[in-house]
Amino acid sequence: MSAAVSPVIVIPGITASDLFDRYELPPEAVWTTMRNKRHERITLHPADQRYELLEPARVKPGGPFPLGYGELVEELRDGLAEDQAGPVPVYPFGYDWRMPLDLTEARLDAFIREVIDRTLLMPLYRGDPDFAASPTVTLIGHSMGGLIVAGYLERYSAALVHKVVTLATPFQGSWEAVLKLTTGTADLGDDSGKARERHAARMTPALYHLLPSYGTPSGRGNGNGAPSGLVVDDGLEADIFSPAAWQPSVVRTIERKVRGWDVSGAELFAEMLGAARAHQDRIGGLELAAGAPTGNGDTGGDGSPLLTADHWLAIAGADAKTRVGLRVRRDDDGAPRFDLRSAERRNEWDSDDDAARLHSGDGTVPLAASVAPFLGESNLVCVTPRDFGYWELKDRALTRLSGFHGLISAMNMVHRLILRFLLDKDDPYGNTWGRRFPGVAEGEWQPPLALREKG
């Protein structure tokens, strides 16, 4: 095994990378952290969603937003190199978060190979015979970035990946995606609620990848496969990936966008829902070699090495008021109408009942949806807003204003946890900790590193 620490790639969440129109000279910013939310400029073309509706244009990604990721990248660059004779490369991976995730996975594959090639130019790595013979990277994905990591591994194999960290990833979706597509307002990016935001959201394929798919039939208990938290009136479609389950206004918006092109709004809507379902099914099919030591020869169906469960650190947020369900009613015309009441935003993390405690999350991702199908509940490490350090006053304030989900990647304790995991270090001073997923017994909790339980 190589003594050199694998280079790291940090993959941000949806809407968290800058977008620039490179048709203009100099390139014009059309999506940045605090300004330039040019919804009309980033809307994708109905005839070919690789490109923009308004042409001529050439919108391309820049880097991830510094807020939320800047401190993480700097802490990793500093902490990983502490016991090494040279720097450890930590690359932020900015991507076009509008696109279907299949396209982003392909670009991540190319970027991983570029990072390895660049790392092998460094004397420390070039001179390490083990790394030179079998170079690998570590992938850290926040929110939708974790879905991109999982999709990449399922499609391209784990042959070039040493370890994985996922932060607040909605492996089984988020109800905020439904809210965003319906109203334009949610804890996912800009929350202006204006028509331009709503219309752009409905034409963004990647957003459909975040629709919820978790759980078992609930509500009326009709056995129709409705995910936990989805309650529909009798006779209405309960499959959120079926166009029939949606309010007619969604399709009407898309119809207006595609007018004059050789595709109908209903066809495009069904295509985006279908692609999202297929991607979630693909992620559900990802296999890990549970508990097996790295390098033991286990391989996937294509002969490539399998990633082990003890080389994946999955961190989820809890103890924040989170939308945990959706009620769908029948309107006067017999069509579905989403009842987006605030009553569905709940936080029962401190309950004595484990089933009730699932009615919590990080403000965007419900706890139940944070469980990766290929890992399970026993591997998950939960953190809460109480884990912000005493001096993290700014982050505590931002959590109250903008939610916990987006700031998990900025939490100092999480940085220490990641460094311990990547460096295989002990924690003699108890500076890291975590919490079990509700219902996981103390003896069943199996995080990928020795961890003090808190709370």
**Residue 320 DSSP code:** B
Structure confidence at residue 230 as a pLDDT band (50, 70, 90): confident
Mean pLDDT of 387-405: 69
Q: Is the model's pLDDT at 297 over the cut of 80?
A: no
> How far is Cα 335 from Cα 140, in angstroms, rounded to an integer?
42
- Mean of pLDDT over the chain: 88
Structure confidence at residue 385 as a pLDDT band (50, 70, 90): very high
Cross-strand bridge partners of residue 230: 326
CB 90 within 8 A of CB 80: yes
What does the CA dihedral 226, 229, 231, 236 come to, rounded to 10 degrees?
A: -40
Residue type, 85: A
Lowest mean pLDDT among 125-129, 198-202, 346-350, 362-366: 198-202
Mean pLDDT of 222-239: 73
CB 315 within 8 A of CB 381: yes
Mean pLDDT of 191-202: 72
Residue type, 437: F
What does the CA dihedral 174, 175, 178, 181 come to, rounded to 10 degrees?
A: -60
For 9, 12, 209, 436, the CA distances from 173, given in Å and listed in that order, are 23, 16, 7, 21
Beta strands at 161-167 and 90-92: parallel, antiparallel or unpaired? unpaired
For 11, 104, 219, 293, 379, the CA distances from 18, given in Å and listed in that order, are 13, 15, 41, 39, 33
Q: Is the model's pLDDT at 347 over the cut of 50?
A: yes
CB 46 within 8 A of CB 257: yes
pLDDT tens-digit profile of 62-105? 999 987 899 999 999 999 998 888 899 999 999 999 999 999 99
Lowest mean pLDDT among 15-24, 35-44, 205-214, 283-292: 283-292
Higher pLDDT, 247 or 299: 247
Lowest mean pLDDT among 64-73, 223-232, 295-304: 295-304
| pLDDT at residue 303, rounded to an integer | 55
Side-chain half-sphere CA neighbours of 315 within 13 A: 30
Q: Is the model's pLDDT at 33 over the cut of 60?
A: yes
Query: Which residue intervals of 184-247 are DSSP H helices?
Result: 195-202, 205-208
| pLDDT at residue 200, rounded to an integer | 86
| 3-class DSSP assignment, residue 17 | strand
| Two structure tokens written together for 26 | 């100099």
| Two structure tokens written together for 14 | 């949806």
pLDDT tens-digit profile of 398-428? 565 567 999 999 999 999 999 999 999 999 9
Beta strands at 326-330 and 336-339: parallel, antiparallel or unpaired? antiparallel
Radius of gyration of the chain (CA): 22
**Residue 87 DSSP code:** P
| pLDDT at residue 2, rounded to an integer | 74
| pLDDT at residue 293, rounded to an integer | 42
pLDDT tens-digit profile of 155-183? 998 999 999 999 999 999 999 999 999 88
Backbone angles phi, psi at 289, to 5 degrees: -90, 90
| pLDDT at residue 103, rounded to an integer | 95
Lowest mean pLDDT among 22-26, 254-258, 412-416: 254-258
Structure confidence at residue 217 as a pLDDT band (50, 70, 90): very low
> How far is Cα 309 from Cα 364, in angstroms, rounded to an integer?
25
pLDDT tens-digit profile of 300-310? 555 566 789 99
